[in-house]
Structure 1
Amino acid sequence: MVSRPFPFFSSGLRLDADLHLPDDGGAGAPYPVVLPSSGYQGLKVIHPERFARALTARGFATLAFDFRGFGLSEGERGRLVPQEWVQDLRAAVDRVASAPELDAGRIGLVGWGMGGGVVVSEAADDPRVRAVASVNGVGDGARSTRNMHDEASWQRLLERIAADRAYRSEHGRSEITSPWDIVRLDLDGRTDVYVGRELYQAPGFGSGVTLESADMLLRFSPQSVVHRLAPRPLLIVHGTENRLHLPEEAEALYERAREPKRLRLIEGAGHTEWMFDDHPTFLTLVDELAAFFEESFAAAPATSAFQAIA
């Protein structure tokens, strides 16, 4: 894999990004490109770079980036708003669509967790994207978040969001809280262990999040726009034992999507305990993603990036 800095701007904010290319001396250029979208906490060094390592070995270019406010990207610290992530991802598509070594007619998105909803929402209004894959994704932010909580913690969260809404309307600031007050990892043992052992190695992971972010998450509903992807293909992959984002999220996306669409449930898999470069489940997933994007790009009509958004 050959990598180089490839920053771009979104809403005037400079986002830190790296372009990863196959190590073939440019023989495959212009390359098909897949943009991996991270889950909660928005860091490129976790799953986006994992997908980059795997997909470049299969002939794809990838752009891994930190969403605004995370990693080395500019933006308000602690602000984790999925609707703004959609804007950032669209800006990333703008960036790759203008790069000469990349094929603007073969752009795909793959999203993980919350990013699985972000890719659906971005592509719904961006015909330059030719194929979308959502892995362990979110179909509706309110339902997904509610399912993470017991009754008492859910009511506390709603009360805190309401109080913060009033406070920030008067003072212009939102309270910073633990990210795990919003996403209840402790109710999903396998994910909790993986996060503690693996993800906290990433600098900045686990940093505080505003309650306004939680408010916006509850208004985020990719399932309401997923039908607009058609006739572009959608692949939905979800672990049957995912207790963070329940399989209901995948099923809701699939039910509301139009053809062509595909749903694959990974038997026995949870949310993230299998996300290692050499894990058989991850390797099988990447093979499926590569085949999906290759098939989708081959079937897509030849259209320039300008024609796609005109």
Structure 2
Amino acid sequence: MQLSTHKTDGGIALTVRLPDGIAKAPVIILCHGFCGIQEILLPAFAEAFANAGYVAVTFDYRGFGASDGERGRLVPAMQIDDILAVTQWVKALPEADSSRIGLWGTSFGGCHVLGAAANNPDIKCVVSQLAFADGEEIVTGKMSADEKQAFIATLSKMAEKKQASGKEMLVAITRVLNDEESKAFFEHNKVLYPAMDIKIPFLTVRETLQYKPQDNAARVDCPVLVVVAGADTVNPPEQGIALYDAVASTQKALHVEPGAKHYDMYAGPHFDSIIAHQIAWFNERL
């Protein structure tokens, strides 16, 4: 396997892993999760795909990691545009078979890949893992009706203030997370990876609340594998299943990994199980 780093004309930082002994190989573009960077969680999957004969491409969304752009600005539509920009860049890669490009996304990235694949003939196959169908449910699902109404009203006032003054509140990533698993993950990894230790706009919560990946899924007609962690407390299993149900493609499959929590899927026996399913899916469909 050969590894190289690049940057697109738009300033998106990429890492390309080439399989050994293949002149032109199919491509898998890997899309990381909420406020992530490509050095964390993705390498094990990328290496497995490269060793299976694929060109594996990881990247940082604009404003994160080594990519250019305003630090911490997270807008789902913009991140989907970044995936499309990486797709165009990959099509010009000499070692890539541009007629066989697949997307793989995890968590927030697992939502984004469906937006990038919707009505897009460049994308031949998708794997979406640990994603959700409805951002409003993810953000406010544990609130009472009164709490939800007050919270949404507060976000709307903050958005109005930003529009009027150009100013907004920036907070640590852990301030906008509502689950203990993710808070612990970010607190641990920001020490190991200083590039993760940034502030993001509090209105990122509003972006998430308004995000409906199920709507994009309804416009995807290429083969889609949805992978769900059966004991996920970050994006509950029913959200992944609802996303699977929303996928328009008649060539779709659902894999629920029994007993796995959200971050269990990136290493150990659960990783071994799901990577086998995913490689088999790409081998058959890409």
Normalised to the residue count of structure 1, the TM-score between the two structures is 0.85
Counterpart AA for 1:205: M
Q: Structure 1 pair 76/17, CA: closer, same or farther in 2 (3 Å)? A: same
Query: Which SS does the other structure have where 1:75 is aligned?
Result: coil
* Residue equivalent to 2:247: 257
Residue identity over aligned pairs, in percent, reads 26
Paired with 1:125 and 1:46, the residues of 2 have a C-alpha distance of 30
Query: Which SS does the other structure have where 1:173 is aligned?
Result: coil
* Residue equivalent to 1:111: 105
* Residue equivalent to 2:26: 32
Map 1:180-219; keep pairs closer than 5 Å.
Answer: 180-186=174-180, 188=181, 191-198=182-189, 200-219=191-210
- Which residue among 1, 11, 30 is the counterpart of 1:14? 11
Following superposition, the deviation at residue 111 of structure 1 comes to 0.6
Paired with 1:198 and 1:153, the residues of 2 have a C-alpha distance of 31
Q: Structure 1 pair 74/198, CA: closer, same or farther in 2 (3 Å)? A: closer
Counterpart AA for 2:272: L
Query: Which SS does the other structure have where 2:233 is aligned?
Result: coil
Q: Structure 1 pair 48/155, CA: closer, same or farther in 2 (3 Å)? A: farther
Greater mean deviation of Cα atoms: 235-244 or 280-289 = 280-289
Q: Does 1:225 align with 2:222?
A: no
Paired with 1:121 and 1:76, the residues of 2 have a C-alpha distance of 22
Counterpart AA for 1:294: N
Q: Structure 1 pair 192/153, CA: closer, same or farther in 2 (3 Å)? A: farther
Following superposition, the deviation at residue 106 of structure 1 comes to 1.1
* Residue equivalent to 2:260: 269
Paired with 1:220 and 1:62, the residues of 2 have a C-alpha distance of 27
- Which residue among 226, 231, 245 is the counterpart of 1:236? 226
Query: Which SS does the other structure have where 2:57 is aligned?
Result: strand
CA contact (8 A) 2:229 2:265 kept: no
Query: Which SS does the other structure have where 2:139 is aligned?
Result: helix
Query: Which SS does the other structure have where 1:262 is aligned?
Result: strand
Paired with 2:265 and 2:189, the residues of 1 have a C-alpha distance of 11
Q: Does 1:293 align with 2:278?
A: no
Following superposition, the deviation at residue 206 of structure 1 comes to 4.5
- Which residue among 76, 87, 96 is the counterpart of 1:93? 87
Paired with 1:128 and 1:48, the residues of 2 have a C-alpha distance of 23
- Which residue among 137, 145, 154 is the counterpart of 1:143? 137
CA contact (8 A) 1:157 1:181 kept: no
Following superposition, the deviation at residue 163 of structure 1 comes to 2.3
Query: Which SS does the other structure have where 1:76 is aligned?
Result: coil
1:64-109 residue CA offsets vs partner (Å, 9 max, x unmatched): 1110101111111121111110000000000111112101111111
Q: Does 1:129 align with 2:85?
A: no
- What RMSD, in angstroms, separates the aligned Cα atoms of the two structures? 2.0
Q: Does 1:175 align with 2:169?
A: yes
Counterpart AA for 2:236: L
* Residue equivalent to 1:75: 69
Following superposition, the deviation at residue 59 of structure 1 comes to 1.1
Normalised to the residue count of structure 2, the TM-score between the two structures is 0.92
* Residue equivalent to 2:272: 283
1:248-271 residue CA offsets vs partner (Å, 9 max, x unmatched): 211111111131111111110010
Query: Which SS does the other structure have where 2:71 is aligned?
Result: coil
Paired with 1:153 and 1:142, the residues of 2 have a C-alpha distance of 13
Q: Does 1:46 align with 2:36?
A: no
1:93-152 residue CA offsets vs partner (Å, 9 max, x unmatched): 0011111210111111111101000001110032110001111012222222223x5559
Query: Which SS does the other structure have where 1:273 is aligned?
Result: helix
Counterpart AA for 1:8: T
Is there any run of 5+ residues in structure 2 with no aligned partner, and where? none
